[in-house]
Amino acid sequence: MDTRTLLQNFQSVYPDNHHEVRIYFSPGRVNLIGEHTDYNGGYVFPCALSFGTYLVMAPNDTNKVRFATGNFDVRHEQNVNALNKKIDQLWINYPMGVMYEFITRGYAIPGIDLFFYGNVPNGAGLSSSASIEVVTATALNDFLHAKIGGVDIALLCQHAENHFVGVNCGIMDQFASAMGKKDHAIYLDCNTLDYQLVPLVLKGYKLVIANTNKRRGLADSKYNERRRECDQAVAEISRVKPIKYLCELTVEEFNQVQGAISDDTVRRRARHAISENERTGKAVQLLREGDLAGFGQLMNASHDSLRYDYEVTGVELDTLVEEARKIPGVIGSRMTGAGFGGCTVSLVKEEAVNELIEKVGKGYHAVTGLKADFYVAEVGDGARRIL
């Protein structure tokens, strides 16, 4: 959305506010490879997208923070002394949790008017919640002259989501939103937060994101179940080889100790995490070498491991991937995000993009009865002020 339209929307919601406004933006993200490795001590490889969340903000000379959005017909105001209290409108708890993080660090939140607009599809697994958090933190950081660095912004937002909103997320989403760089992906160690910006040179290929538009009702419960299964694998392996995280092991080392895991299902969960971590490292190396075909093969292997070993895909994601792989010019396709709905990401020759959208859309609808949405992804910068 352009700044002129954002300003007009802000004024229509807050006609009594005549202060100078500021506009900020924070992107969504897509993870190219490295799924369900973050909480297993491994690497992820996300990039920031060109779409995300915009925030128009101005002081309002009151003792209230007023919230509005262009995405829902919902408005709310909260006394600045009550920003520690969650409310029933879930999306407002994301920015409010970030505000409370600033308060706990000694900053006073003044009366302000906030207008959010997001073009990240909600519930698609492209991190709309982290985008809301990071744009709020970026705005407050600027407005309050807090001088908090990008990595600490990501950590602050993760803490808000974990402890205020109550979602036990990892750091990847907030980190990619805060630290993304145009035409680069982030090779991130989620434990140490060591990271490298890797040029994403696609040379005639495009990243195409397909949204299943399936409600992700299973995602949270199954996510917690997978975490428990991985904890069980660590506990049983540690009897023969002490480890803290599964991804401390190479695939070769896992093959030597996997017999310590008593349950076959738990063994497959561990095999995915460890093999996915190794795939992620190889994928980054191949990308640096300009081997897009090899990178695409590892994307395919990643999805297959998530499908058969980790079992977090489902008919919708599998159908999108299967239909995409039928298209000449698609060199890799996989689910991205937690699973059980959400999105796939495919690496596609530019001239095959339209064919993919048409044929995969038809094939997906024939199997599932659902309509998929497609986005040709542009890799953008991280959170920033734009006006």
CA distance to 267, 280, 301, 338, per residue, from 231 (Å): 11, 21, 24, 17
Phi, psi of 30 (to 5 degrees): -130, 140
98, 157 contact by CB (below 8 A): yes
For the CA atoms of 349, 353, 354, 356, the dihedral, rounded to the nearest 10 degrees, stands at 100
> Tokens standing for 57?
């903000």
DSSP 72-138: SS-EEEEEGGGTTS--S-HHHHHHHHHHHHHHHTTPPP--EEEEEEE-SPTTSSS-HHHHHHHHHHH
β-pairing, 112-118 with 64-69? parallel
Say which DSSP state 190 is in. T
> Tokens standing for 224?
């917690």
385, 24 contact by CB (below 8 A): yes
CA distance to 68, 243, 274, per residue, from 240 (Å): 55, 9, 17
Q: Does residue 173 carry a catalytic annotation?
A: yes
- Integer Cα distance of 9 and 299 in angstroms: 41
Which one, of 50, 55, 53, 69, lies nearest residue 21 by Cα? 55
- Integer Cα distance of 274 and 107 in angstroms: 42
Longest Cα–Cα distance of the chain, Å, equals: 69
Active-site residue among 16, 38, 152, 173? Answer: 173
Give the number of other CB atoms < 10 A from CB of residue 373: 14
Strands (E), 163-322: 184-189, 195-199, 205-211
Positions marked catalytic: 173
